[in-house]
Structure formats: structure tokens, C-alpha cells
Chains A and B, each alone.
Chain A
Amino acid sequence: MIIDLHNHSTKSDDGRAKVSSYCRWIHKREIPIHGLVLTEHRQFDDESDYRELEDEHDLLILKGSEVETDYGHVLVFGVNEDLLNAFDFGAIDLKLADVVQAADRCGGIAVPCHPGRPTVGMVAHYEERGPIEGVRVIEVYNGGSRAGEDEASLALARELGYYGVGGSDAHLVSQIGLCATKFERDIRSMEELVMALKEGSFEAVSWR
């Protein structure tokens, strides 16, 4: 089962895509993904209900978040009430160590994204300040990466034995499905996604 783990809708300040448009685009372009996760910037969208769209388009639509830490941006999967109370999702100066620990404690998982990107990726911060304990999975393919950035992410994953996922980081409709993650098992819910991410039973894929 292939899921695009990193996407933004109009709920994000810089997102320009309606979720319904993503769904129609995936079908029209025959993009080989079975689901997508909406990871809105600095927030968790607990209002939108995409169940009708899921049924209409036979797609799994899940919700996570992308938060901002001292080691760069981080995807958070498995957001629940406990996790929402653990830190301020809107802050831009969270501590990566705190986010990783809180996610783990509350039954979720934190996945640093676009690690190879300047400032907002963890590679440069690791070089300066060393690794953070508890990180197990990072994004190694990102649809918005510039030349050399994914290579730096892959090198970090190899060096530290991290599992690697892929996500498009789509902000426009036509950017979805550039990168994704292929899971060995079927995934039907956020709980199952978090479990699969913790097991490491997946591989990152890129069609860029």
C-alpha cells in the first residue's frame, strides 16, 4: 500500500490545494497512491471530515501535522488530545527532543522532514549540535527538494540507521504523488500508520 505522507491543503498558510482537487487529480493522472496524509503547518486540523471524499475516491485520507523545531520541521503522526496538550503546535521554536518524546509518550511518532534542506532540515543542525535521541524515521524523499537535498537526507539515514519515508510536500494540486511511502501491509487508520512507521516495514519511493 502506497501513501503520500506529507501534503498541505488550503488549511495551511501557503497551501493552495483543495483536498477534493487532490483526489480528482490522483484519479485523473492515475497516480499509483492509495492514500495521503494532510500535514498542515503548525496546527492540527481537527475540524475537517474527509470520510465522504475517501468513499467517493476510494482513497485513505489521514491527518497529521508539520511543526517547527530547533532542528527543523517535523511531521507528527498520531496526533491526539494528549499530544495536543503536550506542546504548542503553533510555536516556531519547539525543541525536537521534546516533540520526539511527547509523540512517543502519547502513542504517535515524530518524523523530521526534508532533513537536507538549509535551516529547516536537521542535517545541518546535527553537524553543529549532534543527534537527538529517539529519532527513528526521517523523510528521505521530499517533493520540494532541490538538487543534493534528498541525497543529504539519504546519507544521514544510512549513517545513523534511520528508516526513510517519502512525501510530496505538495502545496499545489499538481504536486501530489511526487514522492510517497510503500508499506508492506495494508493501512486503514492513523493508528495502523503509526504502528507501521514504528516497525520500519516500508520503503520510500520517488517519481520525480
Chain B
Amino acid sequence: MQRRFQDIELGDELPEYAPDISLSAVRSFAEAVGVGRVGRFTDHEQARREGLPGAIVPGIMSQGILAAMIHKWAPGCQIRKLDTVFRAPIVVDSQARCRGVITETEPDASSVDIDLTIVNEAGETRVLGTATVRI
């Protein structure tokens, strides 16, 4: 469904989104960006040997997942800027949730600002960011 700028209000929340961060999905991403052999992303055992709780989702995959969430909410929109802070690792095969909320609307540019977070099972924010999106 095409989303119209005039129907969006400050404070609107994007539908919460559960991304696929299974080991097979992360391996596919890692292959796609040329880090398929980096064990901390693709191998739980190797990641644990490096002191991590398990394999971790590459930061740029989290960023791409947030972009996909925005596209699902407003198909056809144009993301002008997406800024992500990789605050703490997200463990592969865990249950992460992506959230977004409209924090600014700019009628002259038909654009909105969105606060974005990815939280883990404990509700801790692991990745946060903002996006500027032309609707």
C-alpha cells in the first residue's frame, strides 16, 4: 500500500518487525558483502573463541534490515539518509525486534525523520539510528 505524506503524524509508530537473523541469513549476507569467511559473523564456536557470546550480526546488515523495515512501511519511499550506531552486538539466531517512530514531519520536503532501534530479547537497545525519508 502506497503511503501518503499527509496521512503520517508525528509520533506514528512503524509496525514492529522481527528480522531474519538466523545463521543461514547472516551467512548469506556475509557472502554478499565479502566477509563470508569471517568467523565472528558466521560461526558460533569461532565467535565464542573470540570472547563473544556467539556469532554476531554485521553492523551493516542491521543497517540494511532497518532500511528494509522502512520500505515495508512505506513502499516506494526514498531513504535520503540512514545513520546507525552499533551500540552493542546482536547475537545471530536470537530474537531481535526492529522499531521505528516518526519524530519530525517536513511538509515542504514531504519528508519525515524516524528514530530507529533494534532491541534484543532482554529489551536492550543494541542498534539505534535515525532516518530521513522522502515519502
Interface of chain B, helix or strand or loop or mixed? strand
User: Among B103, B128, B129, which residue has its beta carbon within 8 angstroms of that of A21?
Assistant: B103
A28-B10 CB under 8 A given contacts A14-B85, A172-B130? yes
CB-CB < 8 A to A28: which residues of B?
A: 10-11
A147 touches B104 (CB 8 A): no
Please report the C-alpha to C-alpha distance between residue A173 and residue B11 in the assembled complex, in whole angstroms: 10
A21 touches B11 (CB 8 A): no
A147 touches B122 (CB 8 A): yes
Tell me how many residues of B have a C-beta within 8 Å of chain A: 15
- A201 close to B (CB within 8 Å): no
Please report the C-alpha to C-alpha distance between residue A24 and residue B117 in the assembled complex, in whole angstroms: 20
Please report the C-alpha to C-alpha distance between residue A28 and residue B83 in the assembled complex, in whole angstroms: 24
B130 touches A16 (CB 8 A): yes
A25 touches B103 (CB 8 A): yes
Q: Which residues of chain A (27-73) have a CB below 8 Å from chain B? A: 28-29
- B16 close to A (CB within 8 Å): no
Tell me how many residues of A have a C-beta within 8 Å of chain B: 16
A172 touches B128 (CB 8 A): yes
Please report the C-alpha to C-alpha distance between residue A206 and residue B134 in the assembled complex, in whole angstroms: 35
- A174 close to B (CB within 8 Å): yes
B83 touches A25 (CB 8 A): no
B104 touches A24 (CB 8 A): yes
Please report the C-alpha to C-alpha distance between residue A171 and residue B83 in the assembled complex, in whole angstroms: 13
Q: Which residues of chain A (120-176) have a CB below 8 Å from chain B? A: 146-147, 171-175
- B101 close to A (CB within 8 Å): yes
- B124 close to A (CB within 8 Å): yes
* A10, closest chain B residue (CB): B130
Q: Which of B101, B103, B117, B128 has the most CB atoms of chain A within a 10 A radius of its CB?
A: B103
- Bits for B2-22, please: 1 = Cβ < 8 Å to A, else 0: 000000001100000000000
B104 touches A16 (CB 8 A): no
- B115 close to A (CB within 8 Å): yes
- A18 close to B (CB within 8 Å): yes
* B123, closest chain A residue (CB): A147
CB-CB < 8 A to B113: which residues of A?
A: 21, 173
* A18, closest chain B residue (CB): B104
Nearest chain A CB to B66 CB, angstrom units:
13
Please report the C-alpha to C-alpha distance between residue A172 and residue B101 in the assembled complex, in whole angstroms: 11
User: Among B10, B117, B129, B130, which residue has its beta carbon within 8 angstroms of that of A25?
Assistant: B10
- Bits for B93-135, please: 1 = Cβ < 8 Å to A, else 0: 0000000010110000000010101000010100011100000
* Contacts from A to B (Cβ < 8 Å): 14, 16-18, 21, 24-25, 28-29, 146-147, 171-175
Query: Knowing that A16-B115, A172-B117 are A-B contacts, what are 11 other residue pairs whose CB atoms are under 8 Å apart, sorted by A's residue number?
Result: A16-B129, A17-B103, A21-B103, A25-B10, A25-B103, A146-B124, A147-B122, A172-B103, A172-B130, A173-B103, A174-B103
